[in-house]
Amino acid sequence: MTRLLQGRIVVATHNAGKLREMRELLAPYGIEAVSAGELGLAEPDETATDFIGNALIKAEAAARAANLPAFADDSGLCVDGLNGDPGIYSARWAKEAGDYDRVMAKIDGLLIERGCVAPEQRRAHFVSALAVAWPDGHRETFEGKVFGIIVAPPRGTAGFGYDPCFLPDGHTRTFGEMTSDEKHGIPADGSQALSHRARAFQMLAAACLRKA
């Protein structure tokens, strides 16, 4: 049985971009969000083999450490022509490359090496897995996806991470060219949100949140 999320929670991230998006999504529900980074919580090792598993590791560790409900995201970019890579290793690829500009260039180079130059050969999708964990062990999980193609060179300076190289289906601008509201805003008419994180959040909100 699902459980309502209320009051103060920990957003189990040290990523400023993710924290900003989470706070924007949680604001209409009267949730006070403090980050794991602000509380000085350690980052647990992400040893799972899928997004949901890694989100749960982070949420459960933060819930235990802070004795508060904790909310975590694990997300990444999965490129069809690279057999789903970087996938759950998206952050690791960026760290090893030095920054996101270099890792986006790496992805483009790998696709070209494999002959993936036409748009239909550069299919990709973003995944966002959200997990909520309570100190007593109760937990909820949700997963959202958005499909599109990899473009080069990257376009736009909005957003963060891999946003500038991802063009979602049905759109002419990359995530890096969209405002936060365009990308993450939850439609008032209840239709599906655009971004992977907002889509997962819609599922979470329907199950665990009530408007303030």
- Residues assigned a catalytic role: 74
User: CA 6, CA 38: separation in Å to the nearest integer?
Assistant: 20
CA–chain centroid gap for 175, Å, is 13
- Dihedral sign computed on CA atoms, order 106, 112, 118, 124: negative
Paired strand residues for 32: 8
Give, for 139, the enclosing helix (H) or strand (E): strand 139-150
Measured distance CA(11)–CA(59) in Å, rounded: 8
Q: Where are the alpha helices (DSSP H) in the chain?
A: 16-26, 36-39, 51-66, 90-97, 100-113, 180-184, 196-208
Angstrom CA distances, 8 to 29, 32, 67, 75, 191, stand at 11, 5, 11, 23, 28
Query: In this structure, what are the phi and psi dihedrals at residue 165, rounded to the nearest 5 degrees?
Result: -100, 5
